């Protein structure tokens, strides 16, 4: 028995590892089929999901790309209002919503067309707290802006929260265009999706 027990442990460990790999690959394939979808339509509001504000010696170019895309959608009248959603960064305390608000103002969006959601620290909270803003303002529909790799998870969460939503991923973000499916952002996204499923958040 003593000789067989380690062999059984090894076999079960390998089986579990293989199962985990298959789940990861299956999730990655699903994400790969969804990342290019753009269902933009006219809605009551656009929400731009936050990301880390500062990168090296300047503003995170991926965050700027998200804001720029949200502003373009607003300029093309997909919605009269942009909600900037994001809390304080762990690294330096910079507030994502405030940074996005400033970028949008610099791009010519009037303050009356902007709302800040300053508390969210996860994609789930981005959309949960945005839902509260929508309820308070009587808004019924939402257009979500984030990177391609992030959008499938954001859309699933929005669906779970009962949000009438469309999606418009940021095609020119350096977080996506650099390495695309081989980027660390895409490669870690299946794990985030699996985590949300385990926690029942979509």
Q: Is residue 24 part of a domain?
A: no
- Other beta carbons less than 10 A from residue 72's beta carbon: 14
- Mean pLDDT, consecutive 10-residue stretches, the chain (202 aa), reads 68 83 79 83 99 91 97 99 98 95 98 98 97 98 95 93 97 76 72 76 60
> Is 181 a member of any domain?
yes
pTM: 0.82
Structural domain contains residue 15: no
Give the per-residue pLDDT at 12. 83
Looking at the structure of the chain, the number of domains it has is 1
Rounded Cα–Cα distance for residues 66 and 73 (Å): 11
User: Could you list the residue range(s) of the whole structural domain that residue 165 is in?
Assistant: 45-198
- Which CATH number belongs to the domain containing residue 75 in this structure? 3.40.50.620
Q: CA-CA distance, 153 to 29, in Å (whole number)? A: 13
Indicate whether 182 belongs to any domain: yes
Residue 105 domain flag? yes
Q: What's the pLDDT score for residue 5?
A: 67
The answer to whether position 110 is within a domain reads: yes
């Amino acid at each position: 028995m003593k000789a067989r027990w380690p062999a059984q442990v090894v076999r079960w460990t390998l089986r579990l590892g293989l199962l985990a790999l298959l789940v990861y690959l299956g999730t990655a394939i699903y994400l790969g089929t969804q990342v290019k979808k753009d269902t933009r339509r006219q809605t009551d509001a656009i929400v731009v999901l936050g990301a880390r504000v500062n990168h090296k010696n300047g503003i995170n170019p991926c965050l700027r790309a998200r804001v720029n895309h949200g502003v373009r959608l607003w300029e093309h009248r997909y919605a009269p209002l942009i909600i900037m959603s994001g809390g304080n960064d762990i690294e330096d305390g910079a507030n994502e919503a405030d940074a996005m608000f400033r970028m949008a103002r610099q791009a010519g969006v009037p303050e009356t067309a902007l709302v800040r959601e300053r508390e969210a620290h996860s994609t789930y909270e981005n959309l949960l707290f945005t839902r509260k803003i929508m309820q308070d303002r009587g808004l019924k529909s939402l257009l979500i802006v984030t990177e391609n790799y992030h959008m499938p998870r954001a859309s699933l969460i929005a669906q779970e929260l009962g949000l009438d939503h469309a999606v418009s991923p940021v095609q020119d973000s350096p977080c996506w265009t650099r390495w695309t499916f081989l980027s660390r952002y895409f490669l870690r996204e299946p794990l985030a999706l699996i985590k949300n499923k385990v926690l029942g958040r979509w």
